[in-house]
């Protein structure tokens, strides 16, 4: 389950401390004749403060297929906006890039205190968000704006649609970014609750384009594939519903959509008044569409008493079902059309388990021993699945790996002397490298990268035992260059009007 991820999408970023579980063996762990995997553990370190982070709302790509990692790290300096802090420990936090053993401070927008990075594509373009040094006059909270960092270290303000906030949700290898931004039109049904309309956008070639809605006041841009197809969800009218199931009450009906070349297609629902791409549990899902244009999401059933995961493929909406219970949610789809998420297993408690949907069948991937629930977060091109576990709706359990029919507690696959307990999982790339959160005995959390050790090497056990947990050398550029998006409401970052992330 996505439990203790830092959710940088509300007015105040909330940080829930991760409980430190004892390493346990995953249930239903039929290893068979498969080689037992091993991993080296690399600590991303911090910028002087106690914690470093992977930001996971939406589901993001924090490590690319070249092994470069991005996230955020505490500086050890107090946040001047306390108690409206960027991270829960009220340190100033900066976006980082970890590459070839070096940690680089990516900086912030001019006058901004905190920033974070949460997506890096295979060309090295980094996406994230930054404070800009101003206070939103509507909410009273620090403004935050979507940004990208170019390969040469320049930071680019993505701008807004006229309002005081933007948030980038996903990016492709062409450098196209999708997300959400506020305009200036008053809106009682704002998806962000910040007073004005929230609209989906695509940012490309330095320009932010408003993707519009399905007829209502708001929309949400969630994911983009390599073909430039964008998916999200939008209100279809301005008539509120008193019952929307697990979705927000008293807001209009919202349907998932596909946008391509200026045309928007309503994907529909299973009869309910609320549907999204990806999962209800996340603000968005970068893995909601694959390169073939197949789309996953979650929709209420008629009556809004239950919701099911769906697959949209070439105009057809298919119900993926459940594991015997009432509900299911989809989180990620790879280019082979394999889907992961979570589904209720039945019984009075309606606990949910991680699932893999493949060839028309939903498979229960199990859970960690001693914990009731699990959620499959991501699946790579090799079919490896990473899983969060814990108390249903709360989390707190160990991170798991499922591969070749076997389920492993990641804590059993890393060096025993690392000092870390692996909790939340974040992302797995196509090389099998896994971004995870590690918890130290004092409760501090660090962003970690688990790197597979060659299973064919006779010294694999010895290699795995050679943990690498020394913080990387920190590189801080002597000069930070800033570019402005041509359609940004800020000129060359001179403030001309008066977000939260």
pLDDT in tens, 290-344: 999 999 999 999 999 999 999 999 999 999 999 999 999 999 999 999 999 999 9
Which pLDDT band holds residue 393 (cuts at 50, 70, 90)? confident
Predicted local confidence at residue 490, as pLDDT: 26
Q: CB-based burial of residue 254 (10 Å sphere; 0-12 exposed, 13-18 middle, 19+ buried)?
A: buried
| Pairwise CA distance, residues 492 & 501, whole Å | 22
Instruction: Quote the mean pLDDT of the chain.
Output: 85
> Does the N-terminal peptide bond of residue 32 adopt cis geometry, omega within 30 degrees of 0?
no
Given a contact cutoff of 8 angstroms between Cβ atoms, the answer to whether 6 and 15 are in contact is: yes
Q: Is the pLDDT of residue 57 over 90?
A: no
Three-state DSSP class for 291?
coil
Q: Looking at 128-142, 268-282, 388-402, 457-471, which range is the least confident one?
A: 457-471
* Sign for the pseudo-dihedral over CA of 205, 6, 337, 122: positive
Which pLDDT band holds residue 246 (cuts at 50, 70, 90)? confident
Given a contact cutoff of 8 angstroms between Cβ atoms, the answer to whether 449 and 434 are in contact is: yes
| H and E: helices and strands count for the chain | 1, 35
What's the mean pLDDT in 407-436? Answer: 95
Q: What percent of the chain has pLDDT over 70?
A: 82
Vertex 7: Cα angle to 443 and 43 (nearest 5): 45
Which residues neighbour 362 within 8 Å (Cβ) at sequence distance 6 or greater? 320, 321, 322, 323, 328, 343, 355, 356
Q: Is the pLDDT of residue 411 over 60?
A: yes
What's the mean pLDDT in 166-188? Answer: 96
Q: Looking at 232-241, 275-284, 421-430, which range is the least confident one?
A: 275-284
What's the mean pLDDT in 369-373? Answer: 94
What's the mean pLDDT in 110-134? Answer: 96
Q: Is the pLDDT of residue 4 over 70?
A: no
| Pairwise CA distance, residues 224 & 121, whole Å | 12
Residue 166: its H or E element: strand 166-171
Q: Is the pLDDT of residue 85 over 50?
A: yes
Quote the tokens at residue 58: 């939406």
Which pLDDT band holds residue 12 (cuts at 50, 70, 90)? very low
What DSSP letter does each residue of 336-392 carry, written as one string? T--EEEEEE--TTTT-EEEEEEETTEEEEEE-BTT-SEEEEEEE-TT--EEEEEEET
What's the mean pLDDT in 422-445? Answer: 96
What's the mean pLDDT in 225-246? Answer: 95
What's the mean pLDDT in 426-434? Answer: 97
| Pairwise CA distance, residues 152 & 137, whole Å | 34
| Pairwise CA distance, residues 385 & 170, whole Å | 20
Predicted local confidence at residue 17, as pLDDT: 30
Q: Looking at 120-129, 240-249, 267-276, which range is the least confident one?
A: 240-249
Q: Is the pLDDT of residue 36 over 80?
A: no
| Pairwise CA distance, residues 234 & 264, whole Å | 11
Given a contact cutoff of 8 angstroms between Cβ atoms, the answer to whether 268 and 287 are in contact is: no
Predicted local confidence at residue 3, as pLDDT: 36
Task: Report the predicted TM-score, pTM, of the whole model to 2 decimal places.
Answer: 0.88
Which pLDDT band holds residue 482 (cuts at 50, 70, 90)? very low
| Pairwise CA distance, residues 214 & 217, whole Å | 8
Q: Looking at 25-39, 162-176, 215-229, which range is the least confident one?
A: 25-39
| Pairwise CA distance, residues 292 & 272, whole Å | 27
pLDDT in tens, 62-80: 999 999 999 999 999 999 9
Predicted local confidence at residue 247, as pLDDT: 87
Q: Is the pLDDT of residue 211 over 80?
A: yes
| Pairwise CA distance, residues 186 & 179, whole Å | 20
| Pairwise CA distance, residues 96 & 472, whole Å | 11
Which pLDDT band holds residue 138 (cuts at 50, 70, 90)? confident
Q: What is the DSSP letter of 412?
A: G
Three-state DSSP class for 463?
helix
Given a contact cutoff of 8 angstroms between Cβ atoms, the answer to whether 298 and 270 are in contact is: no
In sequence order, what E strands does 242-306 have? 251-260, 263-266, 271-277, 295-301
Which pLDDT band holds residue 248 (cuts at 50, 70, 90)? confident
Which pLDDT band holds residue 455 (cuts at 50, 70, 90)? low
| Pairwise CA distance, residues 278 & 378, whole Å | 11
More confident residue, 16 or 402: 402
| Pairwise CA distance, residues 324 & 62, whole Å | 33
118 CA to centre of own chain: 8
Q: What are phi and psi of 461, to 5 degrees?
A: -60, -40
């Amino acid at each position: 389950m996505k439990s203790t991820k830092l959710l940088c999408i509300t007015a105040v970023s909330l940080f829930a401390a991760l409980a430190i579980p004892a390493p346990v063996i995953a249930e239903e762990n039929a290893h068979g004749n498969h080689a037992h995997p091993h991993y080296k553990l690399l600590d991303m370190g911090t910028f002087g403060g106690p914690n470093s982070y992977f930001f996971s709302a939406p589901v993001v790509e924090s490590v690319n297929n070249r092994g470069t990692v991005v996230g955020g790290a505490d500086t050890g300096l107090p946040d001047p906006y306390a108690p409206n802090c960027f991270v829960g420990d009220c340190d100033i936090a900066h976006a980082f890039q970890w590459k070839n053993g070096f940690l680089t401070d990516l900086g912030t927008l001019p006058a901004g205190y905190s920033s974070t990075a949460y997506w890096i594509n295979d060309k090295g373009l980094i996406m994230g968000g930054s404070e800009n040094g101003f206070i939103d006059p509507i909410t009273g909270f620090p403004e935050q704006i979507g940004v990208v960092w170019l390969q040469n270290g320049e930071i680019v303000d993505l701008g807004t649609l006229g309002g005081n906030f933007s948030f980038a949700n996903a990016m492709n290898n062409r450098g196209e970014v999708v997300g959400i931004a506020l305009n200036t039109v008053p809106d009682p049904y704002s998806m962000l609750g910040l007073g004005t309309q929230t609209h989906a956008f695509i940012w490309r070639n330095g320009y932010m384009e408003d993707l519009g809605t399905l007829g209502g006041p708001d929309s949400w841009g969630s994911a983009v594939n390599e073909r430039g197809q964008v998916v999200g969800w939008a209100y279809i009218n301005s008539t509120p519903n008193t019952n929307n199931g697990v979705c927000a009450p008293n807001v209009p009906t919202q349907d998932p959509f596909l946008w391509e070349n200026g045309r928007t297609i309503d994907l529909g629902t299973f009869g309910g008044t609320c549907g999204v791409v990806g999962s209800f549990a996340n603000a968005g899902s970068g893995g909601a569409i694959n390169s073939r244009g197949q789309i996953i999401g979650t929709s209420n059933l008629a009556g809004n008493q239950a919701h099911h995961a769906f697959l949209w493929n070439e105009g057809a909406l298919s119900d993926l079902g459940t594991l015997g219970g009432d509900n299911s949610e989809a989180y990620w789809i790879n280019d082979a059309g394999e889907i992961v998420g979570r589904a209720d297993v039945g019984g009075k408690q309606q606990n949910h388990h991680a699932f893999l949907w493949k060839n028309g069948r939903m498979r229960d991937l199990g859970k960690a021993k001693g914990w009731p629930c699990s959620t499959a977060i991501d699946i790579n091109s090799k079919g490896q699945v990473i899983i969060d576990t814990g108390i249903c709706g709360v989390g707190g359990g160990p991170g798991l790996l499922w591969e070749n029919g076997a389920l492993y507690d990641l804590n059993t696959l890393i060096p025993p002397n690392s000092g870390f307990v692996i909790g939340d999982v974040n992302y797995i790339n196509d090389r099998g490298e896994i971004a995870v959160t590690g918890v130290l005995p004092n409760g501090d959390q660090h962003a970690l990268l688990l790197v597979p050790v060659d299973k064919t090497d006779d010294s694999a056990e010895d290699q795995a035992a050679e943990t690498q947990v020394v913080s990387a050398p920190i590189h801080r550029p002597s000069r930070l260059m800033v570019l402005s998006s041509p359609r940004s409401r800020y000129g060359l970052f001179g403030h001309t009007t008066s977000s939260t992330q």
